[in-house]
């Protein structure tokens, strides 16, 4: 049923099955670790009995918060470490502590005094603007942690745990997801979130099975064992051992089938469809580079700089790109220039608040206003390409018009890079693809944003998951229009949105005429198997069946009903 018809369940029964949306494939089994929500001070906290004691308690709370953040920083990688250390410094700020202590000495309860002091600083930071205004979320995080410390309740955020577990939360911020330890997080489950939220994308990227939109997720008691299926979206509470064993057996069956497939992507009759990886940084590149795939179809460069305070220099960028390119040898690497703004804000590429950021100056529009950022990036990409001899192709996000495409291509060539492309993720570009692609060398369909803009449904809004379904007939029509345009222009068109990693939808995309599919690396084997069991004509028939359907559900069902049984057996 659509999200709005599902009832919110709050009680748990052993073996109870709940339905969410699977966004990162694979199954997981383990104890629940609940991510604690932000802590607020009690409504009418009494005045402290002993003001000096309370002032000392407040000092200890801030010191504990700083120490905990520093300790956490020891266990994470570069970018996450920098964020945590900077936040720890805020917790050590003398004037913040003084303001909170002045509160308790004036008779305010300690948690309330901490919270009020933090809000006072929030106002000051916001008035200062720029760098300071961007620290507000971190400052509030420090405040919430200090309030928790004063009250003696668990700190907000992901708690520390030592055995492989399922991390359960209302939702996870991209930075929170990025700092999770792959070795300890067996699975991720959220109550909110959507198919193309960046939490979902990061989870798939990290190869962690994940389910979003799970009713009652935050009420699952910590320590309860749950079984998570990142393909079907099913979560079973306290599953009986037979189910755990069954899931294990299915994991093995699927793994065996997938392990039996290798090499370049091609249909049963030999049509070549390049199978590529979506990556977001050096760690992803090393993992994907070691896999049997044909290169990178989308390097989301903004993910590298999510926590950067200032624009990275050309030298810094060159070093990162060199490390990203190296694992791929001579394989192709499609790099997307910074897609900053809206759901992926960057501190150094922020043009200020906007009423509708998703419709604002994001992606290439931001590059047009800050061309020095684009030029520095292109210069670094060209340098890294020269150093490694990598086959680098550069594309722009959020292109809507021919002029934008031509402007971008010129800058790419001027920087000595041989190939320029565009994301087709705005309906305008999809409808006019023959002209837009005529101005560049290749295109790549960003079906996440294309669905968002076609359906007028915010991809960050988990409640709209049904509208954001890439099987929506209108989205399929939009993709078909873009594919027709690509054919007319004689330019290759791939797909790098999440839809490319769905084995059934991948067949439809091939039937519509795309020539490459780029996805989280863990999704490649199943898509390769799907291709080997269908001819190009099969794919065209499946695409026609999908487009004949009246609804997204009917489109998927129609394709499922006609797909090869060898594929259905492993889904």
**What residues line the site for ligand PEP (CB under 6 A)?**
196, 298, 300, 339, 425, 446-449, 496-497
* Residue 497 binds which of ligand PEP, Mg ion, none (CB < 5-8 A, kind-dependent): ligand PEP
Using alpha carbons, select from 180, 207, 187 the residue that is nearest to residue 524: 207
* Residue 447 binds which of ligand PEP, Mg ion, none (CB < 5-8 A, kind-dependent): ligand PEP
Residue 141 or 425: the one with the smaller Cβ distance to Mg ion is: 425
Q: Least Å distance between CB 448 and Mg ion?
A: 5
The set of long-range contacts for 449-456, using a CB threshold of 8 Å and a minimum separation of 24, is 449/398, 449/423, 449/425, 449/497, 450/424, 450/425, 450/426, 450/475, 450/478, 450/479, 450/497, 451/196, 451/475, 451/497, 452/196, 452/358, 453/425, 453/426, 453/427, 454/427, 454/478
* Options 1-9, 157-165, 207-215, 444-452: segment touching Mg ion (CB under 5 A): 444-452
Which of the residues 13, 75, 198, 533 is marked catalytic? 198
Residue 72 or 300: the one with the smaller Cβ distance to ligand PEP is: 300
What is the C-alpha separation between 361 and 68, in angstroms, rounded? 38
How many residues in total does the chain contain?
A: 571
Which of the residues 496, 533, 534, 539 is marked catalytic? 496
Among positions 537-566, residues that touch Mg ion (CB under 5 A) are none
Residue 27 or 499: the one with the smaller Cβ distance to Mg ion is: 499
* Options 77-85, 106-114, 417-425, 519-527: segment touching Mg ion (CB under 5 A): 417-425
Residue 57 or 449: the one with the smaller Cβ distance to ligand PEP is: 449
Catalytic residue status for 198? yes
Residue 425 or 502: the one with the smaller Cβ distance to Mg ion is: 425
Q: Least Å distance between CB 36 and ligand PEP?
A: 29
Beginning with the edge strand found earlier in the chain, give each strand of the sheet holding 234-237 in spatial order. Answer: 17-19, 234-237, 225-229, 27-34, 165-169, 185-190, 210-212, 21-24
3 state SS of 415: coil
What is the C-alpha separation between 374 and 364, in angstroms, rounded? 9
Q: Least Å distance between CB 85 and ligand PEP?
A: 28
Q: Least Å distance between CB 546 and Mg ion?
A: 22
* Options 82-90, 222-230, 255-263, 424-432: segment touching Mg ion (CB under 5 A): 424-432
Residue 293 or 395: the one with the smaller Cβ distance to Mg ion is: 395
Q: Is 341 in the site for Mg ion (CB under 5 A)?
A: no
Which residue(s) pair with 278 in the sheet?
298
What is the C-alpha separation between 152 and 159, in angstroms, rounded? 15
Q: Is 194 in the site for Mg ion (CB under 5 A)?
A: no
Q: Is 302 in the site for Mg ion (CB under 5 A)?
A: no
Q: Least Å distance between CB 174 and Mg ion?
A: 14
Kindly provide the residue ranges of all beta strands, DSSP E only, lying in 115-247, ordered along the sequence: 165-169, 185-190, 210-212, 225-229, 234-237
* Residue 538 binds which of ligand PEP, Mg ion, none (CB < 5-8 A, kind-dependent): none
What is the C-alpha separation between 557 and 553, in angstroms, rounded? 6
Catalytic residue status for 539? no
Residue 231 or 339: the one with the smaller Cβ distance to ligand PEP is: 339
Q: Is 425 in the site for Mg ion (CB under 5 A)?
A: yes
Alpha helices in 300-432 (DSSP H): 314-325, 364-369, 371-388, 402-414, 427-431
Q: Is 470 in the site for Mg ion (CB under 5 A)?
A: no
Which residue(s) pair with 277 in the sheet?
296, 519
* Residue 421 binds which of Mg ion, ligand PEP, none (CB < 5-8 A, kind-dependent): none
Provide the terminal-to-terminal Cα distance of the chain, rounded to the nearest Å: 21
Contact set with Mg ion (CB under 5 A): 425, 446, 449
Residues that are catalytic: 198, 496
């Amino acid at each position: 049923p659509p999200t709005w018809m599902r009832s919110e369940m709050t009680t748990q029964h052993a073996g109870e099955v709940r339905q969410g949306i699977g966004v990162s494939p694979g199954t997981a089994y383990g104890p629940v670790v609940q991510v604690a929500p932000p802590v607020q001070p009690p409504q009418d906290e009494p005045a402290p009995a002993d003001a000096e004691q309370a002032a000392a308690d407040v000092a200890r709370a801030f010191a504990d918060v700083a120490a905990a953040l520093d300790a956490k920083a020891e266990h994470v990688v570069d970018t996450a470490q920098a964020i945590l250390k900077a936040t720890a410094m805020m917790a050590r700020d003398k004037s913040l502590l003084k303001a909170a202590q002045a509160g308790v000495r004036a008779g305010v309860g300690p948690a309330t005094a901490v919270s009020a002091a933090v809000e006072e600083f929030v106002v000051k930071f916001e008035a200062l603007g720029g760098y300071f205004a961007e620290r507000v979320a971190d400052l509030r995080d420090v405040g919430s942690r200090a309030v928790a410390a004063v009250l003696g309740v668990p700190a907000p955020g992901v708690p520390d745990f030592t055995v492989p577990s399922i991390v359960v939360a209302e939702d996870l911020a991209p930075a929170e997801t990025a700092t999770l330890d792959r070795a300890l997080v067996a699975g991720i489950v959220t109550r909110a979130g959507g198919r193309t939220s960046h939490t979902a994308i990061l989870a798939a990227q990290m190869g962690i099975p994940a389910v979003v939109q799970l009713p009652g997720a935050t009420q699952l008691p910590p320590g309860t064992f749950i079984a998570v299926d990142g393909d079907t979206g099913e979560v079973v509470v306290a599953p009986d051992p037979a189910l755990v064993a069954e899931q294990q057996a299915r994991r093995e069956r699927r793994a065996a089938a997938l392990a039996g497939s290798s090499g370049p992507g091609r249909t049963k009759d030999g049509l070549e469809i390049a199978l590529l990886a979506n990556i977001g940084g050096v760690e992803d590149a090393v993992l994907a580079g070691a896999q049997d795939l044909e290169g990178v179809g989308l390097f989301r460069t903004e993910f590298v700089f999510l926590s950067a305070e200032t624009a990275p220099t050309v030298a810094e960028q060159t070093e990162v790109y060199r490390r990203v390119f190296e694992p791929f040898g001579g394989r192709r690497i499609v790099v997307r220039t910074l897609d900053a703004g809206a759901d992926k804000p960057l501190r150094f590429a922020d043009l200020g608040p906007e009423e509708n950021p998703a419709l604002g100056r994001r992606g290439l529009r931001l590059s047009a206003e800050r061309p020095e950022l684009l030029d520095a990036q292109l210069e670094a990409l060209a340098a890294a390409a020269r150093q490694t001899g990598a086959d680098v192709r550069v594309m722009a996000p959020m292109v809507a018009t021919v002029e934008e495409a031509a402007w971008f291509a010129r800058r790419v060539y001027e920087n000595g890079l041989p190939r320029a492309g565009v994301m087709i993720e705005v309906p305008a570009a999809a409808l006019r693809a023959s002209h837009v692609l005529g101005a560049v060398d290749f295109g790549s369909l960003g079906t996440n944003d294309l669905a968002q803009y076609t359906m007028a449904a915010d991809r960050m809004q988990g409640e709209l998951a049904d509208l954001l379904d890439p099987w929506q007939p209108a989205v399929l029509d939009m993709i078909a229009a873009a594919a027709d345009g690509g054919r007319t222009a004689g330019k290759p068109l791939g797909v790098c949105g999440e839809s490319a990693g769905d084995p059934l939808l991948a067949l439809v995309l091939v039937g519509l005429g795309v020539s490459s599919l780029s996805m989280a690396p863990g999704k490649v084997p199943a898509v390769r198997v799907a291709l080997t069991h269908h001819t190009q004509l099969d794919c065209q028939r499946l695409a026609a069946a999908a487009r004949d359907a009246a609804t997204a559900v009917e489109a998927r069902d129609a394709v499922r009903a006609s797909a090869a049984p060898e594929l259905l057996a492993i889904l």
